[in-house]
Amino acid sequence: MKMINLAYQFDLISPIFKRGKQTLIVIKDKADNFILGSKKWYPQNIYRFVGGGIEEGEEIFSGTYREFEEELGLDFHKDKLKQIAKIQIDISNSKEKYLYEVYLFFYQASGEKFKALDDLDDLKILTYKEMKQLIQEFYSLKEDLFGEEEHQLFRWKDYGAVFGKIHEIALDLIC
């Protein structure tokens, strides 16, 4: 498992980065395509690896299994889930500093029928080339495009900087 450290400074810090720990699952299907999720509140053409927050006191693998089942509606072969990285991200502004940990896992699907559940709006299947384009979409989000979560504004550009890098790291590790 790879350990990676990153640091960012943003004027507005998204509540997602204040949650502490998140798990993301890189899923590839039998055709070697990637399966990602979309949410209604994401900007156009933005998708993300399936996953979500690790609850206080929850073990990382248990949280990953829970997120997989909640978002895709499936139990899965636990021996097929491989942790590929732990990314520690220091996110700060002039008043606050947070440590945001992302646990990246890889799951090679073997014909499972996935469906979007929980807060996922849809599933998107992307080729390697389309994944590279998605990463550029993350990095190209506009400075003046704002989102709101938990009654706090954030810049999608900042979200894109972090999640573009996470997706880029994942691609580098498994391709």
Q: What is the dihedral of CA 118, 57, 76, 174, to 10 degrees?
A: 100
- For the chain, what's the residue count? 175
- pLDDT at 169 exceeding the cut of 90: yes
pLDDT tier for residue 61 given thresholds of 50, 70 and 90: very high
State the average pLDDT for the chain: 93
Give the H/E segment covering residue 128.
helix 128-139
Q: What CATH superfamily is the domain 2-174?
A: Nucleoside Triphosphate Pyrophosphohydrolase (3.90.79.10)
Residues 47, 77: Cα–Cα separation, whole Å: 24
Closest to 165 (Cα-Cα) out of 107, 100, 83, 74: 100
**pLDDT score of 151:** 82
> What whole-number distance in Å separates Cα of residue 55 and Cα of residue 68?
14
Q: How far is CA 161 from CA 35, 40, 70, 77, 122, in A?
A: 21, 20, 27, 32, 23
Distance CA 51, CA 46 (A): 15
The residue extents of the domains of the chain are: 2-174
